[in-house]
Amino acid sequence: MPQSDDSDANLAKHGVEHPFGSPTDEEIRLQALNHSKDRLLSIVGHDLRTAIGGVVTLVSLLDKRLDQGDVEDAKRLSGLIRRSAHDADDLLRDLVAWTRSSGQELKFRMERIEITQLIETEMERLESMAARKNQKIRLEAYDSGLIRADPYMLQAIFRNLLSNALKYSHQGGVVTVRIYRQPGLWEFQVCDKGVGMSPEVQALLLKIDDRKKQSGTSGEVGSGFGLMLCEDFVQRHGGHLTWESAPGEGTTISFTIPELLG
């Protein structure tokens, strides 16, 4: 039987060589990855139970209101059910993408992409979400042209950043996408004037184990994994993801993509 973790620590403490040899860097990396995945699945399982349990409760209340003939409250409950179902769907989509990404199933598929066209497509897909709170998405393209990147990953980055910005923006708010081209790289910003984030939330923003979730302006609940997925995809392109935020002042998420040649 392999030694326990405590035994391993005692061996190291007394200068005794581990009987099976020291773990390699790759073994340590895989252990950390497996721990993260186990923790991730545990968190997602809890979040899904909460989301689905909420839908079940709301459906039960809806049935009672329909039996009572209370059409107005039934409509309100129907809207809450729809939103809860969307939250659960977002969570599952992020989980699938994260699992595929960390399992290295996603392969880099570099293509030349017309960047403004890609962003406008994602903006159109989110029009119905924006319409629920009478919000607008605006594109400020200071530069445009072809970018060499993986289209699936780039779409996922903008979809997650835009949906988060809408989620945490107020009724009638505006979300702005900005494009800048600098020597050797592209820079993108997704800006909102919504609720913003406290330093405590920001400190845990990319942590699997210690997420600090906050609800959107209409009670929306995020999965907490979308931004981690964005950072992963940005890093795969050799870029960096950063943010600036303050409570009540909104959030700006910025990321760069190197101008790859070939």
The pLDDT value recorded for residue 29 is: 55
pLDDT of residue 21: 53
Rg of the Cα trace of the chain? 22
pLDDT of residue 1: 42
> Mean pLDDT of successive 10-residue segments in the chain (262 residues)?
44 44 62 57 61 79 90 86 74 64 63 92 84 91 86 88 91 95 93 91 75 64 71 90 94 92 52
CATH superfamily of 111-258: Histidine kinase-like ATPase, C-terminal domain (3.30.565.10)
pLDDT value of residue 226: 76
Residue with tokens 């996408």: 177
Residue 128, number of CB atoms within 10 A of its CB: 8
What token pair was written down for 20?
């099976």
Q: Which of 200, 112, 199 lies closest to 148 in space, CA to CA?
A: 112
Q: Which residue has the tokens 């959030």?
A: 251
Where are the chain's structural domains?
25-102, 111-258
Third-level CATH fold of 25-102: Helix Hairpins (1.10.287)
DSSP structure class, residue 217 = T
Residue with tokens 């399992």: 103
SS3 category, 185: strand
